[in-house]
Structure 1
């Protein structure tokens, strides 16, 4: 179950409107609407407050998902491209910083001097 469905279900089971839930959780009704539609994902602390305001509890489960080979290949390609760009940057000529550069003086500041 995704966050939006979970939150919507908790609120409905508690018999609360979005505004009532928002008031209890210390957030806006618009934010609750976005969370329930899935257009925004609440931060973990916000989700805990929202769920607690419905009287439900939230349990976290950590799971490890197998890596997608296509994602790994794309990451390796990106890493190789980045290494090539950094190598190229190392071979660019370096410009020395000119000595004695002063910041421009604005007219109002110059008049105050």
Structure 2
């Protein structure tokens, strides 16, 4: 949920108009309208102040992001590369059975 949606949802659930929320938050109704339209993005402090003025609180949660494109996150990608590299013999291995290129 983005800031515009959070502000609009809080305002509507509180039953406030743009001017009512603006007065409660100590800002202008044009600023609230711009935030709700996504034309401006409020700072986290401003967002918290506006949502608090509507009678709600923001709860923040940080969780790992799962990509929907099938790619691995960086930590998982690194682990997969290290695991794959362990399957290949080293050049200095005495039992190297693959041709050495560049000689």
Asked if 1:15 is matched to 2:22, the reply is no
State the shift of 1:60 in Å.
Answer: 1.0
Q: How far apart, CA to CA, are the structure 2 residues paired with 1:34 and 1:62? A: 27
After superposition, residues 94-105 of structure 1 pair within 5 angstroms as none
TM-score relative to the length of structure 1: 0.55
Unpaired stretches in structure 1, ≥5 consecutive residues:
70-113
Report how many residues are paired. 70
- Higher fraction of helix: 1
State the shift of 1:64 in Å.
Answer: 4.1
Unpaired stretches in structure 2, ≥5 consecutive residues:
72-103
**Cα root mean square deviation, aligned:** 2.1
> In the alignment, what sits opposite 1:39?
39
Q: How far apart, CA to CA, are the structure 2 residues paired with 1:54 and 1:43? A: 17
Q: Deviations over 1:36-67 (max 9, x none)?
A: 01111101111111001111111111234479
TM-score relative to the length of structure 2: 0.60
> In the alignment, what sits opposite 1:50?
50
